[in-house]
Structure 1
Amino acid sequence: MLEAAHSAKNRGIDVVVGYIEPHTRPKTMALLQGLEQLPNFQLEYNGIKLREFDIDAALQRKPGIFLVDELAHTNVIGCRHEKRYQDIEELLNAGIDVYTTINVQHIESLNDTVASITGVLVHERIPDFVFDRADQVELVDIEPQDLINRFQEGDVYKEKQERQALQNFFPLRT
């Protein structure tokens, strides 16, 4: 998504980062360089400060393309919409193109299939109609061992999250 954003920016399109999941991955952080980023807003939930996508700031800024990570994310109570995909629908309805990301297990009709393979049932999902409305989809598929290597090199999550993901999704391979 970030590489595509740089390509669009180089073609003269107004590109703004609305929200990128803050896993502090060095390669991701490097790809954010040179891209305008909207500040997120913080909400407190159960004593924890959480960052969320600021849809009002996005609608005011109204770039050609917005980048919003984690399409299936459930927003914190206090946000306008329950789910991030609803935020993105509002941006699209306002005439703003959106680049976003989603893992295949978060698509409702594929969730059971992925769960039967991985043994992990994912609860954050998007309805199929959201995915079906996309003008363009880029599938990024890598071999399981390559993904495990990316986890172990810190390219996906922080160490604690990386261990948990490896144990959940690749219990026999780690």
Structure 2
Amino acid sequence: MTDAASFDEYVRSRLPMLGRVAYLLTGDPFLADDLVQLTLLRLASHWERVSEAREPDAYVRRILYTQHVSWWRRVRREALPVAVLPERAAVDFSGETVTALAVRQALARLAPRQRAVLVLRYFEDLSEVETAAALGIAVGTVKSQTRDALARLRVIAPELSGSLAEVNG
């Protein structure tokens, strides 16, 4: 199989996962698309070397998370005032939808590294060691970032307290 064909196959198989993770990190579908595209662009330039590794996912995750943190450091997003607020559609939010929205909003208020650690640990179900390897940090840093992020979530999103108790349990 040629490098181009193996790259295409890898992208097709991993694109949904990358999109979900990027969305959880950015909280914005358009920024998530940009983040995935930039990640795949960087991956393509190193594909020959990466494809020889048994587990290219770790390399791809590392690109995704470090690029997200770099964006956050470069551009501090601020709310821009507008003269007229857009109308909101009347939507009946219930159950899981409300929880999903609360989780997204709470994740958006965490520091990028804390958000990355929680996404890797609880949404991608990686171990502490795998999370540390993906982010290029120590296992102890993963533990402290997880602890601090969960404590911050308890403060900024008390409505998630039942979900957070399950995580700590």
Q: TM-score range by the shorter chain?
A: under 0.3
Q: TM-score, normalised by structure 2?
A: 0.26
The structure number with the bigger radius of gyration is 2
Q: TM-score, normalised by structure 1?
A: 0.25
Q: Which has the higher contact order (CA 8 A, sep 6+)?
A: 2
